[in-house]
Chain A
């Protein structure tokens, strides 16, 4: 399911160390805290690098493999670093019958990555969600927490073009 994650950056490593050094002030050493700890770590670091998982296992004094098994069991946890923008294509029932697969294909084609991957420039990461409750506007894609309804392959192109222009402007002004 998950490709081998890319190498951790220095900045991320800093976040991992910071998180691990503060962990015992927010959480007690109880096994039942594993999922909340992982959620918090992902919030802080953006994803769950190897180093973070090992540190958490050590903190809770449980085998590394237990942490890994929980991380890979739940859809919420990611082993890949997030992109600057997250693209979540709804694959709920209504979106499926409304053409969700076509939209997923369009994103994959344009970004050149598969589900649960991040573009090499770390601009975008792509994943699916199951029904965000906006079935009335199927097919739906959630971009950075914002739900966009009635997506078509041309809208996909349009949205990406928007980001491209934005980036060009940014690089010109800097």
Chain B
């Protein structure tokens, strides 16, 4: 059996390699454009069109590939140009516009000028040019899960196979399933979906459950409203995921698989569907996969936009066609899941790690990261940070290194205030927690959670009460309504936070708020309710003074809370001759005062910040004032002559 699989795979690989080399034609230049959603939003499709147009009919043979997320989202749109046999390694260009793209094609693809003024860095270390690997951040990063993202064409299975893809599957199929489970156990892989449960142990439970039929589901619901790394993998490297699913299916003895993708990710749905189709054609799915006697297939299920459906039992209910309400565990899905059958549910990142572990061995994987948590973790950096985008670091890296070394710190000379990690189930950690090595357990001890890996950085302009209120509003909306404490408790907490942000609360309310938070944690069935109070509890723990300022002084220290803040034009700074703000005000709330300076009519102002942006920086005359009691009396309007 074993030799048949090996030769079937060898044949597959050779076919793919020859098809792939035919496509890129060895010595021809190759142009790659990052067209994941992040790139598209920045205009990557226009860049793509401009490249195709500049190449014109005469150069249709130069391949232009659409690749996924290259990770440097702050510099989108990104273009990579490789000229095999040329002087330079593949080069990465950032902030590319259609015009720049045209220049790049003319000067570097047709000509020999690498247009260094648009260069972000070379893709490989070399003697001539600085490479992306020489950036200080790369000493902290370690790409395993994301290693293919932005480097291969997600729509072309040949590219994946030609670079060794599905080799781990062929290797697994030549092993006994138990040994595959053993290998994953030995690697120490823990689920990346939030809770950090041992992946090998989960597979073992499913394997050991007696049943004639078993399922595997890949959880690609990614409901955290500040996270996008699962999407990047689905859009940029779908075959790694599919390979991981098939290996898991073989190891745990399941017959049928689903990828549960949220409908808000149309491009991900499209790319995964296409990848499955291609895998079927290459006999990597279906009957007798690569010449083995293992048969298995996958279909895509589109989630319909409910955060709670990321919870595994709710997700199952949703595939069964019911409202996504969680139920009590045990029984765990690995024993009794979809349609009552044993079901493995794993996160995208978990499954995408699997082929690499099988390929390079459990010992390689367990050599990375911490004792308690092996491997790497992926973060989506967003908010008030210089380098927004994706990064992958070994477990145990400190938050400080991720934010300041990789993320490049806080832009515009502002001060770091807090990092929100783990989304609605996570928490806000202050400066003092930054030296924490990142790991499931350390974050839980600090009151936050690894969650999905969304990391939103906040600066001094962000109000912590407002951030807590934001997350609670989210979970309150998304509570499925099954447990009373979750449904009504979160609503009560939200009302109290509303009162605080309006300056209408009493100090005793903080005690009630904390009490209620603990009750919700204790009385909820699923982790949505059990973790919903975390954002409030962590902000109360680390930023209590801000809550007190809102209550006591009706003062929002960040001057963000709508009801406690007003815009004000400083008379000593406003220039009589300028009326930039008057023209831009979207609600005509600014008038000329008696002395000719501008004044805001507070009854009309909707606090949209437009005037602040319009006010010329040399005047910088508009400010926010909190508490409202400090707002000077408005000057009457200038009399009309």
Contact = CB atoms under 8 A, between A and B. Distances in A.
12 contacts: A33-B321, A34-B321, A35-B321, A74-B305, A74-B306, A75-B305, A93-B456, A93-B471, A109-B606, A132-B37, A136-B73, A147-B41
A134 B41 contact: yes
B420 interface: yes
A4 B264 CA distance: 25
B38 A136 contact: yes
B531 to A, nearest CB: 15
B224 A131 contact: yes
A69 B318 CA distance: 12
B37 A134 contact: yes
Interface string A33-45: 1111011000000
Given A93-B383, A105-B606, A149-B41, A136 B389 contact: yes
Given A73-B324, A154-B610, 6 more contacts: A35-B304, A76-B263, A76-B264, A77-B304, A92-B226, A93-B454
A48 B584 CA distance: 40
B586 A93 contact: no
A105 B606 CA distance: 9
Per CB-CB distance, the 5 closest pairs between chain A and chain B, nearest first, are A93-B226, A133-B228, A135-B382, A75-B305, A74-B304
Nearest to B73: A136
A54 B579 CA distance: 59
Given A93-B383, A93-B470, A152-B610, A70 B322 contact: yes
Interface string B445-460: 0000000001010100
A73 B480 contact: yes
A147 B323 contact: no
Interface in A62-81: 69-70, 73-77
Given A35-B321, A70-B322, A105-B608, A154 B383 contact: no
A94 B610 contact: no
Contacts of B185: none
Interface string B595-612: 000000000001111100
The residue among A34, A77, A96 with the most chain B CB atoms within 10 A of its own CB is A96
A38 B302 CA distance: 11
A48 to B, nearest CB: 12
Contacts of B324: 73-74
B586 A94 contact: no
Nearest to A91: B225
A157 B608 CA distance: 13
A157 B588 CA distance: 14
Nearest to A32: B321
A154 to B, nearest CB: 6
B609 A99 contact: yes
Interface stretch (A5-13, A16-24, A137-145, A163-171): A137-145
B226 A70 contact: no
A69 B306 CA distance: 13
A69 B323 contact: yes
Nearest to B456: A93
B227 A131 contact: yes
A37 to B, nearest CB: 9
Nearest to A62: B321
Interface in B588-633: 606-610, 613
B76 interface: yes
Contact of B40 (A30, A39, A147): A147
B610 A136 contact: no
A39 B322 CA distance: 14
Nearest to B461: A97
Interface residues of B, number: 61
Interface in B10-46: 36-38, 40-42
Interface string B57-100: 00000000000000001101000000000000000000000000
B456 A73 contact: no
Interface in A99-143: 99, 102, 105-106, 109, 129-138, 140
Contact of B382 (A73, A136, A147, A154): A136
A14 interface: no
A150 to B, nearest CB: 10
Contacts of A84: none
B423 interface: yes
Contacts of B38: 133-134, 136
Contact of A93 (B265, B321, B420, B609): B420
A137 B48 CA distance: 20
B192 interface: no
Nearest to A98: B383
A145 B474 CA distance: 23
Nearest to B458: A97
B129 interface: no
Contacts of B480: 73
A97 B223 contact: no
B497 to A, nearest CB: 14
A69 B470 CA distance: 26
Contacts of A98: 383
B388 A97 contact: no
Given A73-B480, A134-B38, A35 B224 contact: no
Given A74-B306, A135-B383, A130 B225 contact: yes
B41 A137 contact: yes
B586 A97 contact: no
Contacts of A129: 264
A132 B384 contact: no
Contact of B323 (A73, A91, A145): A73
Contacts of B263: 39, 76
A31 interface: yes
A106 B470 CA distance: 19
B441 interface: no
Contacts of B586: 106, 109, 153-154, 157
Contact of A131 (B228, B467, B608, B613): B228
B359 interface: no
A102 B608 contact: yes
Contacts of B587: 109
